[in-house]
Amino acid sequence: MLIIVGILLILHGLVHLLYFGQSSRIFELQPGMQWPDEAWLFTPLFRKKAVRILAGNFCILSAIGFTVSGIAVLAQHANWYFLAFGSAVFSSLLYVTFWNGKYEKLHDQGAIAIIINILIVVSILIFHWPQFNF
């Protein structure tokens, strides 16, 4: 179980790097995908390029947090769940604040990441799962 949880956290973190690539326009995750150009919170305040840079940097921070928490699980570090919990909350806030405000193509806006983040938070806080003996 330890290896599975560690690898899943690392993979979840690495997916955030795909959104970094999308926001930096290094590549398109899907043809015509415009994330985060129409972010409901930041687009009225900043230019599109600044919104993209901000989203990209936040994606990198989320990726680092999840990757390090996964490595902490694999290294059997007792406080891995603080980092996993914080990364899940931060990542959810990232996708909510960079959402375009429309209810179409939510999977392009990070909805799947938010669902995974909710599962992580609920698992840790409510079910106290997984419990490792280290």
pLDDT of residue 17: 98
- The token pair that represents 21 in the structure block: 């690539």
The structural domain count of the chain equals 1
In a domain, 117, yes or no: yes
User: Which range of residues forms the domain containing residue 104?
Assistant: 2-27+34-125
Predicted pLDDT at 126: 92
Residue 110 lies in a domain: yes
Q: Which two tokens stand for residue 64?
A: 């680092």
- The whole-number pLDDT of residue 98 equals 97
**Predicted pLDDT at 89:** 98
| Residue 92 falls inside a structural domain | yes
* Grouped pLDDT means (10 residues each) for the chain, 134 residues: 96 98 95 94 95 98 98 94 97 97 92 97 91 80
Helices then strands, counting H and E runs in the chain, come out as 4, 0
- Residue 129: the pLDDT is 85
pTM recorded for the entire structure: 0.93
Tell me, yes or no, whether 81 lies in a domain: yes
Instruction: Give just the sign of the alpha carbon dihedral 21, 27, 29, 35.
Output: positive
Tell me the C-alpha distance between 104 and 107, whole Å: 8
